[in-house]
Amino acid sequence: MQKQFTIPLSPRGLSSIAPPPPWHYSGDFLLVEFWADPAAAAAVLPKGLSIDPASPGHATALFIDWQFTAQDDELLDPARYQYREFFILIDALYDGKPVSYCPYIFVDNDSAMMRGLIQGFPKRYGQVYQTRSFAARSPAAAPVAAGTRFAATASASGQRLARAEVKLEQAVADVSKLGIAGRPVVNLRYFPRLAAGEHQTPAVNELVMSIMDNAQIADVWSGEGKLSFPLAEGEEISDLQPVRVGAGFRGSMAYSVTDLKTLVDNTK
Amino acid sequence: MQKQFTIPLSPRGLSSIAPPPPWHYSGDFLLVEFWADPAAAAAVLPKGLSIDPASPGHATALFIDWQFTAQDDELLDPARYQYREFFILIDALYDGKPVSYCPYIFVDNDSAMMRGLIQGFPKRYGQVYQTRSFAARSPAAAPVAAGTRFAATASASGQRLARAEVKLEQAVADVSKLGIAGRPVVNLRYFPRLAAGEHQTPAVNELVMSIMDNAQIADVWSGEGKLSFPLAEGEEISDLQPVRVGAGFRGSMAYSVTDLKTLVDNTK
Amino acid sequence: MQKQFTIPLSPRGLSSIAPPPPWHYSGDFLLVEFWADPAAAAAVLPKGLSIDPASPGHATALFIDWQFTAQDDELLDPARYQYREFFILIDALYDGKPVSYCPYIFVDNDSAMMRGLIQGFPKRYGQVYQTRSFAARSPAAAPVAAGTRFAATASASGQRLARAEVKLEQAVADVSKLGIAGRPVVNLRYFPRLAAGEHQTPAVNELVMSIMDNAQIADVWSGEGKLSFPLAEGEEISDLQPVRVGAGFRGSMAYSVTDLKTLVDNTK
Amino acid sequence: MQKQFTIPLSPRGLSSIAPPPPWHYSGDFLLVEFWADPAAAAAVLPKGLSIDPASPGHATALFIDWQFTAQDDELLDPARYQYREFFILIDALYDGKPVSYCPYIFVDNDSAMMRGLIQGFPKRYGQVYQTRSFAARSPAAAPVAAGTRFAATASASGQRLARAEVKLEQAVADVSKLGIAGRPVVNLRYFPRLAAGEHQTPAVNELVMSIMDNAQIADVWSGEGKLSFPLAEGEEISDLQPVRVGAGFRGSMAYSVTDLKTLVDNTK
């Protein structure tokens, strides 16, 4: 078996920031759909993607508590591999087909950051939290039931970037209508050159499509959504401030990753 | 309603490190029972407690992912109030009756730290993680089922203090035999004086018994336990290194706190 | 020598959250003086203190990068003991004499938090950063010289609570005019009772005066100050929003602590 | 001016994880030279580098408190850009010439991580601390003077990876003999492909030489060095455990980065 997939290429592969694929993920999510100003949404799209005229400015904000494992029982080393994530997906068109694009994403774990960069997710470090649900009942349990509220926040460098809240109303029978289910994710895979004179000609510059194997969605509830992106110094996420907020969803999801499809290679 | 229970006593009570009781908790736990050297276990007991001759050196190590709330929807502010905890409980006798005593406890949240100090838990800051279980299946899901392994670690100041692992074997029908269920927790509530000449005469020095209202235990599984306390510079937890490890348990628990019983007030 | 001063009272004293006094501190500070709304400033004062009519609403915001040691080379364990702090001091009168009072303070270290609680500083956890000055010159060096700007921020639970900036103008020959030099610090030392019916009658409730031995101030420069307290959900610091900002200072300070003077003991 | 150099390519360039070069650095370092087992040192070298027969196994461990800025006053946003770093440099030969290679490096900041990846430094997240020196004297000041001890530690995922200590003996007049001064740093710049079947053929695979403009070293003292790499689960750094420890150094350094030289491009 392959020992080393990414840096550091340590002799036994243990010190590597991320193990080789396949990468497996299971997690709980809080999702709120929203509409940003269409011009602001268009401004974050890379060359090759355009706003979907069927849903201009439509987007989803996702907060996920993730568990990760590969082939070496990584889920038994939660201090190194368990993580939490916040990201935004913007409705877009690629070659006439509906896709979604991730302009901003934050995680609290370096292995997840590197795996994301390799997939084209533009990951930065952040602190992400969501209300959890526990089986043993108290006023702190947040049972998955009508009326329960779940909240989530994301911050970076000590500034809050996002807050969401969903009040559960009903279980979702058909999850195919969820934003995360319907549109493949297209990312910009990008790694710069530092050689003088080449700062504008990246070594990797590809439009790629995520391939999620064995995608599972379970226990999804929908309800009223709330979402805001507080103004934060030196950050642009609030340019996507919701002009309208739609439904919210809370559930569990899983998938595996072993592949990535290059749509357009703009590397020169 | 009372606005301020502890510092800072801010005008509207919002900035206080902890809201007034009642405090409600729900969480998932990983528990491993073990036997420390009885002399080492005796050495951590305060005046008024002694080793239980029925179970000399017997102890439990607990890792808990907690959700907390009081009266103001604190569970909707997980960045401030959600936390993870690791602690040890030592079997002891108080006034001839079996109790357990907490010599070491670590949390990753300051509100939990203060609430613990008020209850007599000697809380320090640490980083605590445990394998979670998710409904959406992948190799990362860790379903609550026979054969699934759960692990947990605790660290402080960048040194690992504990690692536990439990391989689930069977659901526990009768949870009354769990260490956490059987013995009331007796703590040393302690707050020093700093005035010169009074460093040895604390302002608060009480043996107290925790009162846990509406205690709930759910979805408990038992299995083979593993536990170790790696040697860490400047730390004494490894003095309680398991000489024998017993069963492990994984489940969910909940309770509320509004009261504390003083057993002995040694304050002078 | 005394082995244990505070919890946990571990057998060898190593695991204690804080070693016994004397406690020694050296650090670099960024200080901005400001005026809050006098009514807001009055609202944070405890019984026994009143607004100083000579300087109503006058206050200082302090950010300090601290190094701590006691008797056991704690400065050689920076992961456990080095820390950063943000706090506010409000001008007040005690018994007709000018003092300052600390309504809010944040640190990124649990040992500092406990030592502060023992001194009556109402410490919570936060993330605090300030621009540093380095001897090896580059545009990143921030030399201590006219025109150099230093900035600092403080956050808690992922929300920014304060930002300060000072543009150095000139070295301060006479540091006696610094807010931190002129007024003794009076704190509320406070530790609650949790027994039912006693939540309002704390076990420790004292007005205390900090005693700082061998106070040193070095290399102080003054300049133009900037300060703001961004609005943060669930926090009250922004109630003290500067209505006017005065001078800023950047320098180094040191002192030792072995004693505390009780002014009024309101414990019942 | 170029707005965006790396991800996310946000419209105004503010949200990017790292601003465009030039990148400027000033910091304080603790350096300990040591000898690893030559076979272990050879095992971490990439193709194209070999052990230097003049100094087989010779290496340096470096801990640096860094301040960073680019063109937009990043040093005034220390919460986002100030950071601490630990890394190892191994003596090696490239094309017959003495160089040094970095097999392991840890930082506590995502912008530094990304800038490092672009330069070929195999950065992971870690917690790094070193004793600081302050102008205001107390037993906590650690003056730069004969007899003062400075210590540093590095951890990742709650496990300590390294501890160093240097007891200052004398100021270094000629810094040209420092390991960091004498050998250019050669890194492996590496970014994987995720497409199925291409996991072993990275998109970027270059041997590169760091170009450090305007390198400055100031206030360097030498003394007795101590260094250890504690055994940590799932980590390989301790394979480089010192078989001999040499001198230690403490000082300040600075440089700027705008360029990178590709020595060999192994990308296929």
CATH of the domain at C31: 2.40.400.10
Over 80: is that where the pLDDT of D244 sits?
yes
Cis peptide preceding A22, ω within 30 of 0: yes
Q: What is the mean pLDDT of chain C?
A: 96
pLDDT at B1: 54
> In this structure, is residue A159 part of a structural domain?
yes
End-to-end CA distance of chain B: 33
Q: What is the mean pLDDT of chain B?
A: 96
How distant, in Å, are the alpha carbons of A248, B63, B77, B109 from that of A140? Answer: 21, 18, 12, 16
Q: What is the mean pLDDT of residues A132-150?
A: 98
Q: 3-class SS at B101?
A: strand
Counted residue by residue, chain A has a size of: 268
pLDDT at A181: 59
Q: What is the pLDDT of residues B59-79, one digit of tens each?
A: 999 999 999 999 999 999 999
> In this structure, is residue D94 part of a structural domain?
yes
Across the strands, what pairs with A87? A62, A105
Do the Cβ atoms of C122 and B17 come within 8 Å?
Answer: yes
What are the helix (H) ranges across chain C?
38-43, 78-81, 110-119, 179-182
Residue of C64, C75, C166, C226 to mutate, testing the D interface (most D Cβ within 10 Å of its Cβ): C75
pLDDT at A258: 97
Query: Which value, to the nearest 10 degrees, does the dihedral of the CA atoms of residues B235, B238, B239, B241 take?
Result: 170
Structure tokens at C148: 């150099």
Share of chain A above pLDDT 70, in %: 97
Interfacial B residues in 21-60 facing C (CB < 8 Å): 21, 43-44, 46
> In this structure, is residue B122 part of a structural domain?
yes
Do the Cβ atoms of C122 and B21 come within 8 Å?
Answer: no
Nearest 5°: the CA angle C207, C209, C213 is 160
In the chain, the amino acid numbered D211 is: I
> In this structure, is residue D13 part of a structural domain?
no
Share of chain C above pLDDT 70, in %: 97
How far is Cα D262 from Cα A203, in angstroms, rounded to an integer?
12
pLDDT at A174: 80
pLDDT at C2: 65
Confidence of residue C180 (pLDDT cuts 50, 70, 90): low
pLDDT at B153: 98
Structure tokens at D160: 């300590």
How far is Cα D191 from Cα D118, in angstroms, rounded to an integer?
9
Q: Is D65 in CB contact (< 8 Å) with chain C?
A: yes
Helix orientation angle between B110-119 and C110-119, rounded to the nearest 10 degrees: 50
Nearest 5°: the CA angle D259, D263, D267 is 100
Q: What is the pLDDT of residues C220-262, one digit of tens each?
A: 999 999 999 999 999 999 999 999 999 999 999 999 999 999 9
Q: Is C219 in CB contact (< 8 Å) with chain D?
A: yes
Minimal C-alpha gap between D96 and chain A (Å) = 23
Size of the A and C interface in Cβ pairs below 8 Å: 28
In the chain, the amino acid numbered A221 is: W
Q: How many domains does chain B have?
A: 1
Q: What is the pLDDT of residues A88-124, one digit of tens each?
A: 999 999 999 999 999 999 999 999 999 999 999 999 9
Closest to A205 measured CA to CA, from A223, A220, A186, A192: A192
In the chain, the amino acid numbered C33 is: E
> In this structure, is residue C12 part of a structural domain?
no
Nearest to A235 among D11, D14, D260 (CB): D14
Nearest to D44 among A11, A44, A257 (CB): A11
Q: Report chain C residues whose CB lies below 8 A from the CB of A233.
A: 160, 163
Do the Cβ atoms of D122 and A8 come within 8 Å?
Answer: yes
Residue predicted with more confidence, D182 or C93: C93
Of the CA atoms within 13 Å of residue A105, those in its CB half-sphere come to 27
The 10 Å Cβ neighbour count of residue A5 is: 24
**Is beta strand B185-191 parallel, antiparallel or unpaired with respect to B204-210?**
antiparallel
Tokens 């490239």 identify what position? D94
pLDDT at D120: 98
Q: What is the mean pLDDT of chain A?
A: 96
Residue-by-residue DSSP string for C159-180: EEEEEEEEEEEEE-S-GGGSHH
> In this structure, is residue A55 part of a structural domain?
yes
Confidence of residue C268 (pLDDT cuts 50, 70, 90): confident
Structure tokens at C17: 């959250």
Q: Report chain A residues whose CB lies below 8 A from the CB of D125.
A: 109-110, 125
Q: What is the pLDDT of residues B246-268, one digit of tens each?
A: 999 999 999 999 999 999 999 98
Domain with B243 in it: 23-191+213-259
Q: Report chain D residues whose CB lies below 8 A from the CB of B159.
A: 155, 158-160
Query: Which value, to the nearest 10 degrees, does the dihedral of the CA atoms of residues C158, C162, C166, C171 take?
Result: -100
How far is Cα B42 from Cα B59, in angstroms, rounded to an integer?
11
In the chain, the amino acid numbered B36 is: A
Over 80: is that where the pLDDT of D199 sits?
yes
Q: What is the mean pLDDT of residues D134-141?
A: 98
> In this structure, is residue D9 part of a structural domain?
no
Q: What is the mean pLDDT of residues B119-147?
A: 98
How far is Cα A252 from Cα B132, in angstroms, rounded to an integer?
12
> In this structure, is residue C199 part of a structural domain?
no
Nearest to C236 among B5, B10, B194 (CB): B10
Q: What is the pLDDT of residues A143-193, one digit of tens each?
A: 999 999 999 999 999 999 999 999 999 999 887 766 555 799 999 999 999
Q: What is the mean pLDDT of residues C185-198?
A: 97
Share of chain A above pLDDT 90, in %: 95
Neighbours of chain C (3+ CB pairs under 8 A): A, B, D
Q: Report chain A residues whose CB lies below 8 A from the CB of B27.
A: 134, 136
Minimal C-alpha gap between B192 and chain C (Å) = 6
C236 φψ region: left (φ > 0), alpha (ψ -120 to 50), beta (else): alpha
Q: What is the mean pLDDT of residues C48-69?
A: 97
pLDDT at D180: 57
How far is Cα C109 from Cα C25, in angstroms, rounded to an integer?
14
Closest to C42 measured CA to CA, from C34, C33, C32, C52: C52
Q: What is the pLDDT of residues A69-87, one digit of tens each?
A: 999 999 999 999 999 999 9
Over 80: is that where the pLDDT of D183 sits?
yes
